[in-house]
Amino acid sequence: MKEIVIGVDLGATTVRAGAFTPQGELLVVQQTEIKARLGPDAGLQRIIRLIEKVLLEVNQADTGPVRLLGIGMGSTGPADARRGVLVNPLTLPGWIEVPVVARLTDHFDVPSCLENDADAAALGEYWAGAAAASPGVSAVRCLYAITVGTGIGTACIIDGQVYRGANGFHPEGGHQIVDPSGPQCYCGGKGCWESWSSGTAIGRAAREAIQASGAIAGQGKPGALLLALAGGEIERVEAGLVAEAARQADPLAQQVIERAAEAFAIGVFNILMLFQPEMIVLSGGVIRSLDLFMPAIERVIQAADVYIPAHQVRILPAHLGYYAGIYGAAYAILKARK
Amino acid sequence: MKEIVIGVDLGATTVRAGAFTPQGELLVVQQTEIKARLGPDAGLQRIIRLIEKVLLEVNQADTGPVRLLGIGMGSTGPADARRGVLVNPLTLPGWIEVPVVARLTDHFDVPSCLENDADAAALGEYWAGAAAASPGVSAVRCLYAITVGTGIGTACIIDGQVYRGANGFHPEGGHQIVDPSGPQCYCGGKGCWESWSSGTAIGRAAREAIQASGAIAGQGKPGALLLALAGGEIERVEAGLVAEAARQADPLAQQVIERAAEAFAIGVFNILMLFQPEMIVLSGGVIRSLDLFMPAIERVIQAADVYIPAHQVRILPAHLGYYAGIYGAAYAILKARK
């Protein structure tokens, strides 16, 4: 009988579910809105119906009977992987202490498990993405994943296992301090990675630089091109536009990106020193502009060569895009069953 | 029959060996000079004779026949734990590619293993030191150990296993960058932890500050007390004297310690964010002045409370002192046999 696992990726607006073979082949994928505001009970019903839809489609594929081995879920955090409970996701208002693992196991009568979404995406890249020699066969033992978007999320995978800290919780590597001359962050640190190099930080730094430069007033000044890309509205200046303006040689945008890239490179250096991963996988909106960050990163890696032979560390973009989470969730339940 | 394991700690000048019960009780300890300059063959002979001496003493203790289960060794690095080979320790000149594990296993006909000395000391504290509820029973799952002396060494123990990076190598957390406005380090980074907060860095910063302040010339100036403690010879100013002068309210020494402590606290903050350990154990010469560092560390931990509940992280000095290495080496071979 054909065996499958289901991987679910629960985000703030969308929930996605995929059916996979134990060898890492994606058979079917479906997604729907989560409508989180309707509350966790309605949300769990939507997730269950989505999984049932995926199972139906797999069964209709006429490849013979199918046995469901288990369900893994990656979720927007914080998620308590050990207890299988969504603790209180900032992005799912009112979803407090939701026992998703117990509910999925009850309904489908199979083992299920929960991971933080950053951990799930890293597991996906480990199993079937950037770190995989072929689907289901990882080519590395130690993978570090960094997602740079609104914030900076991190995950460390060792021998297919998620690194967990005290009480099974997910470390927040995005809040390591890389240069204390930077801004105060809500995390309690001053000049942490996220406060320098996230999409949010890049947008804010650019807006502040425009204000300071007087680009609002005059054509041809540094930042004028960036401001023009934003339709002249400073509040519309965000990281994507800053990258675009930097490519078009706006000196203000170039300077903002350069500063963010230097701080980003320090964070990468620290991860090399503290974790010595074989591979670093980068994802998230800001990584679409990875070419602008790579010169600084490469400079730093060459410098770290005293301890970390540069050729032993591969730094590359993620391969699975939006599907990393469902791949990793599927892998997590495969591992958990063993 | 009584079962024992041997733990060996190989340093630059001294080698120490202890016999332990599998429950973590130290029965016998012996040490001798390693005389590293006579080369690895002579050195290995000295280590073997030392172990034989320990075994003889255990046998003479009249507790009945004894069975040796295995030998663990912690060694000044770099040591390749995976291959059981000393690679090329800077502190053991000429000891290049020395297969210590193979030699010990050949001679004693028992399993043996090799760890980096920082990892071995951390394992010792995990098994029977600061992290142990009782000897042989660790009270924590995730321990981070920091040694601050000439340099800064780090080790991470998870579930009794040493965290290893690419190719099984030992990460160099002492070279994470904590403030890039600091000095260039031989590691390739600028403003790394070691370059701010090691004993070497504290001594150097104090000597530079004395030079700059003109304390050499005049009584009563900041640094004059420190210089007096050093017998008036600036080249004799080192970290221990700086701490002593700071305690006696020398403003220059206080400022140097304060700066080192602030940078040290950033490194601790980063380890909290990146590893979320349950416990941080501190050792090494500089930690004798831990009271001078604690205010900065505590400030930082309170600030990190957004992500890491401060009461969940215990920060304390190591318990086993010079014996941490033999304890940890003994534990390593016990674990490796399972």
pLDDT tens digits along B136-146: 888 899 999 99
Write down the mean pLDDT value for chain B: 93
How far apart CA A243 and CA A252 sit, in angstroms, is: 11
Average pLDDT over residues B316-322: 94
Pick A273's closest partner by Cβ from B158, B176, B273. Answer: B176
Rounded to 5 degrees, what are φ and ψ at B255?
Answer: -65, -40
How far apart CA B322 and CA A208 sit, in angstroms, is: 53
Q: Model pTM?
A: 0.92
Average pLDDT over residues B216-242: 89
A274, A306, A314: best to mutate for the B interface, most B CBs within 10 A = A274
- pLDDT at position A177 is 97
Confidence band for A89, pLDDT divided at 50, 70 and 90: confident
CB within 8 A of B84, min separation 6: which ones?
A: B99, B100, B101, B102, B112, B113, B114
Pick A167's closest partner by Cβ from B163, B179, B312. Answer: B312
Whether B276 and A306 lie within 8 Å, measured CB to CB: no
CA distances from A205 to A173, A238, B203 (A): 21, 9, 38
Residue B1 touches chain A, beta carbons under 8 Å? no
- pLDDT at position B328 is 97
Look at residue B154 and tell me whether its pLDDT is greater than 70. yes
Helices marked H in chain A: 40-60, 100-108, 117-128, 193-197, 199-213, 224-229, 239-247, 251-275, 290-303, 324-337
Average pLDDT over residues B40-48: 96
Is residue B93 left, alpha or beta, with left meaning phi > 0 and alpha meaning psi from -120 to 50? beta
* pLDDT over 90, % of chain A: 79
Average pLDDT over residues A103-111: 98
Residue A167 touches chain B, beta carbons under 8 Å? yes
Residue with the bigger pLDDT between B274 and B134: it is B274
Residue extents of the structural domains in chain A: 2-129+322-337, 140-318
CB A39 within 8 A of CB A94: yes
- Which range has the worst mean pLDDT, A224-233, A250-259, A299-308? A299-308
Pick A176's closest partner by Cβ from B167, B270, B306. Answer: B270
Look at residue B27 and tell me whether its pLDDT is greater than 60. yes
Residue A53 corresponds to which tokens in the numbers above?
A: 């839809």
B190, B270, B297, B299: best to mutate for the A interface, most A CBs within 10 A = B270
Region A2-129+322-337: CATH code: 3.30.420.40
CA distances from B217 to A90, B209, B228, B253 (A): 61, 13, 12, 17
Confidence band for B312, pLDDT divided at 50, 70 and 90: confident
Whether A276 and B165 lie within 8 Å, measured CB to CB: yes
Whether A171 and B275 lie within 8 Å, measured CB to CB: yes
Look at residue B91 and tell me whether its pLDDT is greater than 90. no
Confidence band for B215, pLDDT divided at 50, 70 and 90: low
pLDDT tens digits along A130-161: 999 888 888 899 999 999 998 999 999 998 99
Pick A274's closest partner by Cβ from B176, B181, B304. Answer: B176
- Which range has the worst mean pLDDT, A39-53, B48-62, B103-117? B48-62
Write down the mean pLDDT value for chain A: 93
Look at residue A54 and tell me whether its pLDDT is greater than 60. yes
Look at residue B89 and tell me whether its pLDDT is greater than 90. no
Which of the following CATH numbers is that of domain B141-318: 3.30.470.20, 2.40.50.140, 3.40.1160.10, 3.30.420.40? Answer: 3.30.420.40
CB A114 within 8 A of CB A333: no
Nearest C-alpha neighbor of A51 from the set A31, A81, A67: A31
May I ask the CATH architecture of the domain A140-318? 2-Layer Sandwich (3.30)
* pLDDT over 90, % of chain B: 79
Highest mean pLDDT among A147-151, B29-33, B209-213: B29-33
- pLDDT at position B310 is 73
Whether A276 and B175 lie within 8 Å, measured CB to CB: no
Confidence band for B156, pLDDT divided at 50, 70 and 90: very high
Question: Angle at Cα A45 formed by Cα A42 and Cα A49, nearest 5°?
Answer: 140
- Which range has the worst mean pLDDT, A53-62, A175-184, A235-244? A53-62
- pLDDT at position A232 is 93
Tell me the three state secondary structure of residue B259.
Answer: helix
- pLDDT at position A14 is 93
Residue with the bigger pLDDT between A93 and A265: it is A265
How far apart CA A156 and CA B325 sit, in angstroms, is: 28
- pLDDT at position B224 is 92
How far apart CA A140 and CA A315 sit, in angstroms, is: 12
Confidence band for A86, pLDDT divided at 50, 70 and 90: very high
Average pLDDT over residues B124-133: 95
A&B contacts, CB < 8 Å: 135
| DSSP secondary structure string for all residues of A278-325 | SEEEEESGGGGGHHHHHHHHHHHHHHGGGTS-GGG-EEEE-SSGGGHH
Q: Is the peptide bond before B78 cis (omega within 30 degrees of 0)?
A: yes
Query: Per 3-state DSSP, what percentage of chain B is helix, strand, and coil (rounded to 5)?
Result: 45, 25, 30
- Which range has the worst mean pLDDT, A197-206, A309-318, B138-147, B262-271? A309-318
CB B191 within 8 A of CB B182: yes
- Which range has the worst mean pLDDT, A53-67, A215-229, A285-299? A215-229
- pLDDT at position B61 is 81
Confidence band for B218, pLDDT divided at 50, 70 and 90: low
Residue A24 touches chain B, beta carbons under 8 Å? no
Same fold yes or no, A2-129+322-337 and A140-318: yes
CB contact residues (below 8 A), chain A span 134-153, against chain B: 141-142
Average pLDDT over residues B90-110: 93
Residue with the bigger pLDDT between B313 and A218: it is B313
- pLDDT at position A218 is 65
Average pLDDT over residues A225-229: 95
Distance of CA A34 to the CA centre of its chain: 19
Average pLDDT over residues A42-59: 96
Residue B114 touches chain A, beta carbons under 8 Å? no
Highest mean pLDDT among A77-81, B11-15, B308-312: B11-15
- pLDDT at position A138 is 84
Which chain A residues contact residue B302 at CB under 8 A? 188
- Which range has the worst mean pLDDT, A108-122, A133-147, A197-211, B238-252? A133-147
Look at residue B31 and tell me whether its pLDDT is greater than 90. yes
Q: How many CB atoms lie within 10 A of CB A276?
A: 24
Pick B266's closest partner by Cβ from A164, A180, A312. Answer: A180
Look at residue A216 and tell me whether its pLDDT is greater than 70. no
pLDDT tens digits along A178-208: 999 999 998 899 999 999 999 999 999 999 9
Q: How many CB atoms lie within 10 A of CB A33?
A: 9
CA distances from B123 to B2, B120, B147, B332 (A): 23, 5, 13, 7
Confidence band for A215, pLDDT divided at 50, 70 and 90: low
Average pLDDT over residues A205-229: 85
Look at residue A45 and tell me whether its pLDDT is greater than 70. yes
Residue A187 touches chain B, beta carbons under 8 Å? yes
- pLDDT at position A307 is 81
Residue B319 corresponds to which tokens in the numbers above?
A: 């318990």
